[in-house]
Amino acid sequence: MRLVPVLSALAMVLLGFVLGFSVPASMTPNLQCGVLPWSGSGAANSSSSESSFLGRLWAPLFRNSSGTSNATSGIARRPEGAGRLPPGIVVSESDLHLRRLWGSPSQDAPVRKYLLTMAVGYKERANVNATVQKFSDKFDVVLFHYDGHTTEWDDEFQWSKEAVHVSARKQTKWWFAKRFLHPSIVAPYDYVFLWDEDLGVDNFTAEAYIDIVKKHGLEISQPGLDATKGHKAYDVSVKRNSGEMHKTDAGGQKCPDVHQRPCSG
Ligand SMILES: *[C@@H]1O[C@H](CO)[C@@H](O)[C@H](O)[C@H]1NC(C)=O
Ligand SMILES: *[C@@H]1O[C@H](CO)[C@@H](O)[C@H](O)[C@H]1NC(C)=O
Ligand SMILES: *[C@@H]1O[C@H](CO)[C@@H](O)[C@H](O)[C@H]1NC(C)=O
Ligand SMILES: *[C@@H]1O[C@H](CO)[C@@H](O)[C@H](O)[C@H]1NC(C)=O
Ligand SMILES: *[C@@H]1O[C@H](CO)[C@@H](O)[C@H](O)[C@H]1NC(C)=O
């Protein structure tokens, strides 16, 4: 019943992103989930292929990972016109953690290690609530609303009041992710979860999952899905009983060309 036999984490250097684009909406469980570790905090071992993948995805403002640049000092290269600002005003990174508008700094909740983001519709709120409950207080939560309902969540769920809400009608989670999960904003987090609203989470435990991901140094992964419940889009996403994780590497048989499907879409 524990997580380990139930979930098999999948390393899909590129495939994880493909799944999000190619899965019809009617499936349960849907395959559009993914976890992106962020190498900025040093938790994940970022090899060249993975960082170049993220670099491509976030190309325009991805911070220089050579490690010798000034970005590592925590102060961004000053934009044109910022010359008169005092030090500390221009920084290279921030996060999605809520700050107090008034009161004492001691009232601030501690900074979180992980980020949970979901594109949600109000109709799926019961499952979203169940999902959020599965993620501990080590997570900042961001909800992307595609149906225009936002304030209703606060009325029903206490946790919603501490979540960030972004609303844009009829957009996909990738639309939101590309625009609101900017590298400089997610950099402080060890792992970023880009989760589906309709995943069954009965047998899921977030921290145990992260332990597996860390242990195997997975850059992009998703929990293995139970093929008996819902539609299978890719073999690699189906849970196997052969161990705690299995993976497909870019360049392998399943993904000979990273510019073609199913490695990119
Ligand atoms: C990162 O991966 C490389 C090769 O895969 C390995 O030699 C190195 O020890 C790893 N570094 C860390 C910090 O895990
Ligand atoms: C990163 O920094 C190195 C050395 O400072 C430089 O050669 C390289 O072009 C930079 N890369 C990017 C993407 O800015
Ligand atoms: C860091 O910034 C200083 C001052 O702006 C500059 O002289 C130096 O070349 C920069 N170093 C790198 C690696 O970009
Ligand atoms: C949210 O989920 C928790 C845990 O499953 C449950 O106890 C709680 O009643 C749910 N809240 C609502 C408003 O449904
Ligand atoms: C959770 O795991 C148990 C035991 O493997 C299984 O019977 C149950 O159907 C699973 N629940 C879901 C929602 O997958």
172 lines ligand 4 (CB under 6 A): no
Residue 40 · residue 93 · CB < 8 Å: yes
Averaged pLDDT for residues 50-66: 36
Domain-embedded: residue 146:
yes
CB 64 less than 6 A from any atom of ligand 2: yes
CB 161 within 8 A of CB 116: no
H or E element, residue 238: none
Distance 70 CA to ligand 3 centre (A): 6
Task: Confirm whether 14 is domain-assigned.
Answer: no
Share of the chain above pLDDT 70, in %: 64
Total structural domains within the chain: 1
Both tokens of residue 200? 């069954």
Dihedral angle computed from the Cα positions of residues 68, 73, 79 and 81, in that order, rounded to the nearest 10 degrees: -130
Tell me whether residue 201 is in a domain: yes
Residue 39's pLDDT is: 40
Banded pLDDT at 193 (limits 50, 70, 90):
very high
Which of the four pLDDT bands, split at 50, 70 and 90, describes residue 9? very low
Distance between CA atoms of 46 and 63, rounded to whole angstroms?
Answer: 14
Q: Quote the ligand 4 centre to 182 CA distance (angstroms).
A: 31
% of the chain with per-residue pLDDT over 90: 33
Strand partners, 143: 118, 165
Sign (positive/negative) of CA torsion 18, 20, 24, 30? positive
Domain containing residue 176: CATH number: 3.40.50
Q: What is the pTM of this model?
A: 0.62
Distance CA 105, CA 88 (A): 18
Tell me the residue range of the domain where 215 lies. 111-220
Average pLDDT over residues 109-123: 93
